[in-house]
Structure 1
Amino acid sequence: MSIALHTRMSIRLGSLLDFAQARYVIHLSDGKRLVLFRLPSIEPSSTSVPRTNETQDGWSYYAMEAECPHAGGPMEESHVDIEDSAYVVSCPWHAYDFNVETGESSVGIKTCTFPIDIKDQVVYLQYNVKDGGVGDVVLSKVEPVSEKVMLKNREKRVKRKKKQPASPVSTSTNDVISHTTSEDMEEEEGEGEGLDAYSIPRYLDEHATFCDWAVHILNTANPEHKIELTTHFFSLFAQKETSPTSMALGRGTVTPPDQPPRPESLSEVNPWEAPKPGRGGNLKSRITMLHALANIELWAIDLAIDICVRFSTFRTNTESKRELPRTFFHDFLKVAADEAKHFSLLRTRLEQLGSRFGALPVHHGLWLSATETAHDIRARISIIALVHEARGLDVNPMTIQKFRNAGDMESVATLEIIHNDEITHVTTGHRWLTWICEQEGADAVQVFRENVKKHFKGALKGPFNEEDRAKAGMDRRWYGERDNSGSPTVAVMAS
């Protein structure tokens, strides 16, 4: 039996000043991809000398393989938690969790982690290479993982009342977003509501509950206010989850609107009257596509927030009558924050192409499904996450190809970000419908199929993106039609 021998080498990643974001993808010359995490030190060193991976100002750096060992999920998109005074990251596809220091998981599998050393303001990766390998492994490139929401420039919409800088609000995963409360600002003369990008959203005070925030955002008509408040809300809730004073949920204390309002300046039409996008061969067609997608993302923000507050008092149909755990609220609020990011990216791209959101008519067809499923969380998850969002996984690659064929690579980059996030959103729906059904002793696939027949008009038609659906947990049992043997064949038909 031969034993592979390894030599540890130190790879210079760059200056500490170059690693100020929450995550980076590290590409090495041997083809390996790693994720570098920058996280607040949980228990900063009590001595004057920080740990080797810790900075003087209280940040710790960790590295692990970029692909989940279970099914290859992108760990750069993972969710960060603290368990037993250690950071744990969860794969966005199937929620497999891994300790960022040891690589160990609660489900028995393990991923590779790599020590990080900080010396003289330089970040080094400790990396094992097999003895006898060809040459040294070196750094190929570093890619920051950015989820920064493209908020409108506040300099155009506010005058500082105070001279001190705005406080940075860091999202739980990525870029710092400048935020200043309304007390620190005053509006420019002549600014109002509607689609005005430069008016100031109203922030709730420190006593506001989760459901207070949710209803406030649902009742916010201005799209720019909605995405800013959603981003702040997710950041605030995620930060408080790791502190001794978590945010009160306020279950059942407030009522969500039957339908979130939209600015009066938006032209609303019936879904069948919306502009036809065409094939993307010209600028007008591509703008129409992007505008339609932006409208969908705006409603998707409301859908992800609405499910939290509308079903906040839900209890399982069991003797124990379990309520939804706090992780449910975090997961769907993360979806809402992603949708806010998506809207901001699409709105920015529309403006780069010489248009704007609101230049074309919009419809509220997606909210009709929310109204149809307002009585049952199982139906809501089935139709919104596992029908509508899953259908997005099917059509997104074809849409992206249209933009690629037109040479619009900037839009391609935006749409690819959105598509990758949408896989995790379907995963979230799959995870929580499965959880509810497991508590109630029900078959999640059967519950899904029954809700499709009751609440979705038409058929779940292909072609299906089987690869990405499988990543999200939806194999053919969920959407394939069954033959006499019970095996899936083509599609689920709604009654």
Structure 2
Amino acid sequence: MSIRLGSLLDFAQARYVIHLSDGKRLVLFRLPSIEPLSISVPRTNETQDGWSYYAMEAECPHAGGPMEESHIDIEDSAYVVSCPWHAYDFNVETGESSVGIKTCTFPIDIKDQVVYLQYNVKDGGVGDVVLGKVEPVSEKVMLKNREKRVKRKKKQPASPVSTSTNDVITRTTSEDMDEEEEGLDAHSIPRYLDEHATFCDWAVHILNTANPEHKIELTTHFFSLFAQKETSPNSMSLGRGTVTPPDQPPRPESLSEVNPWEAPKPGRGGNLKSRITMLHALANIELWAIDLAIDICVRFSTFRTNTESKRELPRTFFHDFLKVAADEAKHFSLLRTRLEQLGSRFGALPVHHGLWLSATETAHDIRARISIIALVHEARGLDVNPMTIQKFRNAGDMESVATLEIIHNDEITHVTTGHRWLTWICEQEGADAVQVFRENVKKHFKGALKGPFNEADRAKAGMDGRCWSVSLENLELPIQIPLKRDIVQIIQMHKYPMDLPPEHTYISVRSLNTYIRDTLK
């Protein structure tokens, strides 16, 4: 049967989720035609202006991964999409995969500027199936002042400006500022690098960018530019080892920075103040997450495996983590927008750099960096996100729920990315990835690591609970004695002097508890 999806003008984004009345979910892709339009053999899924439309199952047949978040490549003159969870690849026309499994694809016909889906009962429908709804997949960040820039662009005559992908207009000179712009902060326009800039040039430039709005705009542009060049003969030079990342990315002076334990307590989400505090804390985390995903690329760009072959990181490593950074930029923009909708703003509350402390702790070893950042911190996010979302749902804040659900689904793919690349490195070096992970947690993670774990979403990301989560609570996790907060709180709680041997630079949580218990008997 032929199901009318809508007018061609309604499908201008790259991806849509199609909901049918029988419960089936499909992904509709809008992609540039790989070959010029053939007049003699017209393609029913192709438009006159060079766009092709494809539809496939929204869930990966392997483990149910969201194909609307898939990565797109061109192989043998055909589009191939890869599941974000476990990288299973599928041809968008045939549904065939290089790993031997297959997904269902559905023909798309374009007639008289209308898009139709060809859908058969044998494909899973029962009786008459009709369109339920069409949802565009959120892909763009919420950039500030973009509309003003577009307006100025239209008003101005030709001048040296450049236009990035995702409709972000960038200015390369200041001479074309009109009266409207003169009333704006001059720093509201980020600096874009020229066409000769390498991957690492861009990475360090973004790391050194303090303005959050500049950072998310540049990150979005950088990912689009790099991904576009990867499908062309002139791919971007990586520039391995040519520049040095900062020890810690700067933040605007207007932000009030505090120690992690001095940050505002979010509460239970029962009132507006509590929810704003939660969203503000999450926005701060996402901003640091951008830097973490970019830093791992440039800091370890010269990494080679500890093997005879000394393999360097493949280009897909840089693509994968840059995609993570672009997602984090989107997340920050969504949270910042939601804060403003609730009458607040990012920077209204103090922020901390606790997440970057783990980056500093693991700056010497990519295995440690992936273990702690992706497989501890981001995986921990999978555990707590559902509870946070439920707090907002209980408060009736469904707009924030929608934002947090987008973020949570993306975070599953980020843990997948970390798991995939730690596994790749360990396979090259003949090491056990789980053991490497556990050793790095013991050495470099400071604090409690307790359940309950979100085993379902961890499994989607490749972290099977039998290997990656069980007994983590029993690990001897070190804390540094100079972290005075912990020691002072213990002393104040028990009102008892505690003298720890000065030679004990590190002491495990379990040993510290035992020491306190024995001392206070």
TM-score, with normalisation over the residues of structure 1?
0.89
Conserved 8 A contact 1:22-1:174: no
Partner of 1:12, secondary structure, is strand
Q: How far is the alpha carbon of 1:116 from its aligned partner?
A: 0.9
CA shift digits 1:33-58 (9 cap, x unpaired): 11000001111224366411111111
Q: Deviations over 1:280-316 (max 9, x none)?
A: 1111111111111100000000000000000001111
Identify the match of residue 360 of structure 2 among 347, 355, 371: 371
Q: CA deviation at 1:27?
A: 1.2
Of all paired residues, the percent bearing the same amino acid is 95
Change (3 A) 1:457 1:201: same
Quickly say closer, same or farther: Cα 1:375–1:51, change in 2 above 3 A. Answer: same
- 1:147 CA drift (Å): 2.0
Mean Cα displacement is larger for which, 275-284 or 177-186?
177-186
Contact 1:159 1:186 in 2 (8 A): no
CA shift, 1:227, in A, is 0.3
SS in structure 1 opposite 2:379? helix
Cα 1:27–1:210 shift into 2, 3 Å: same
Between the aligned partners of 1:187 and 1:249, the Cα distance in structure 2 is 40
Task: Tell me how far apart the structure 2 counterparts of residues 204 and 353 of structure 1 sit (CA, whole Å).
Answer: 35
Please give the alpha-carbon distance, in whole angstroms, between the structure 2 residues aligned to 1:293 and 1:124: 41
Deviation digits for residues 76-104 of structure 1, max 9, x if unmatched?
A: 11111111111110111111110101101
Whether the 8 Å CA contact 2:121–2:127 is kept in 1: the answer is: no
In structure 2, how many angstroms separate the alpha carbons of the residues matched to 1:80 and 1:261?
A: 33
By how many angstroms is 1:225 displaced? 0.2
Distance 2:113 2:402 in 1: 33
Tell me how far apart the structure 1 counterparts of residues 136 and 123 of structure 2 sit (CA, whole Å).
31
Residues 337-382 of structure 1: CA deviation (Å, up to 9, x unaligned): 0000010011111111111111111000000000000000000000
For residues 416 and 159 of structure 1, do their structure 2 counterparts lie closer, same or farther at Cα, with a shift above 3 Å needed?
Answer: closer
- Alignment partner of 1:263: what SS? coil
Change (3 A) 1:168 1:451: farther
The 1:80/1:396 distance shift into structure 2, 3 A limit, reads same
Q: 1:176 to 1:264 in 2, by over 3 A?
A: closer
- Cα 1:424–1:314, aligned 2, differ >3 Å: closer, same or farther? same
Compared CA separation, residues 491 and 348, structure 1 to 2 (3 A): farther
User: Which of these residues, 58, 61, 80, is aligned with residue 69 of structure 1?
Assistant: 61
Q: Deviation string for 1:444-470 (max 9, x for gaps)?
A: 000000000010013321111000000
- Is the CA contact (8 Å cut-off) linking 2:164 and 2:170 kept in structure 1? no
> In structure 1, how many angstroms separate the alpha carbons of the residues matched to 2:77 and 2:515?
48
Give the TM-score of the pair, scaled to structure 2: 0.84
CA offsets, 1:458-492, max 9 Å, x none? 332111100000000001241xx999xxx999999
Q: What is the Cα deviation at residue 167 of structure 1? A: 13
1:223 corresponds to = 212
Residues 67 and 168 of structure 1: CA distance in aligned 2, closer, same or farther (over 3 Å):
farther
Q: How many residues matched?
A: 479
Shift in Å, 1:159: 7.8
* C-alpha contact 1:89 1:97 (8 A) present in aligned 2: yes
Residues 105-147 of structure 1, C-alpha deviation per residue, up to 9 Å, x if partnerless? 1111000111111111111111121499853222121111122
Q: Distance in 2 between matches of 1:488 and 1:28?
A: 59
Separation in 2, partners of 1:132, 1:110: 15
Q: Is the contact made by 1:182 and 1:202 (CA closer than 8 Å) also made in structure 2?
A: no
Counterpart CA distance in 1 for 2:173 and 2:26 is 37
Aligned-pair Cα RMSD in Å: 4.9
Tell me the equivalent position of 2:287.
298
> Which sections of structure 2, spanning at least 5 residues, go unmatched?
469-483, 487-512
Retained in 2: the 8 A contact 1:161–1:185? no
CA contact (8 A) 2:317 2:421 kept: yes
Matched position secondary structure for 1:14: strand
CA distance in 1 between counterparts of 2:38 and 2:222 reads 33
Question: Could you report, residue by residue, the CA deviation over 1:140-167 in whole angstroms, capped at 9, with x for unpaired residues?
Answer: 2111112220111235579837746999
Cα offsets for 1:229-288 (capped at 9, x unmatched) = 000000100111111111111000100000000001111111011111111111111111
Contact kept in structure 2, 1:194 and 1:221, CA below 8 Å: no
Unaligned runs of 5+ in 1: 1-8
When residues 60 and 176 of structure 1 are mapped into structure 2, their CA distance, relative to the original with a 3 A threshold, is: farther
Distance change (3 Å), C-alpha of 1:475 and 1:250: same
Alpha-carbon distance between aligned partners in 1 of 2:204 and 2:519, rounded to the nearest angstrom: 35
1:440 alignment counterpart: 429
Instruction: Summarize the Cα distance change of 1:168–1:398 in structure 2 as closer, same or farther, 3 Å threshold.
Output: farther
Cα distance change of structure 1 residues 131 and 469 upon mapping to structure 2, 3 Å threshold: closer
Residue of structure 2 in register with 1:89 after alignment: 81
Q: Is the 8 A contact 2:29 2:54 kept in 1?
A: yes
Work out whether 1:142 is the aligned partner of 2:168. Answer: no
DSSP 3-state at the match of 1:198: helix
CA contact 1:21–1:174 (8 Å) conserved in 2: no
Q: Do 1:79 and 1:173's aligned partners in 2 also have CA atoms closer than 8 Å? A: no
Partner of 2:230: 241
Q: Quick one: structure 1 residues 183 and 482, their matched pair in 2 at CA, closer, same or farther if it must change by over 3 Å?
A: closer
Compared with structure 1, are the counterparts of its residues 151 and 131 closer, same or farther at alpha carbon in structure 2 (3 Å cutoff)? closer
The verdict on how the C-alpha distance between 1:163 and 1:491 changes in structure 2, with shifts beyond 3 A counting, is farther
* CA distance in structure 2 between the partners assigned to 1:313 and 1:33 by the alignment: 43
Asked whether the 8 Å contact 2:458–2:464 carries over to 1, the reply is yes
Give the deviation of 1:29 after TM superposition. Answer: 1.7
Distance verdict in 2 for CA 1:167–1:371, change over 3 Å: farther
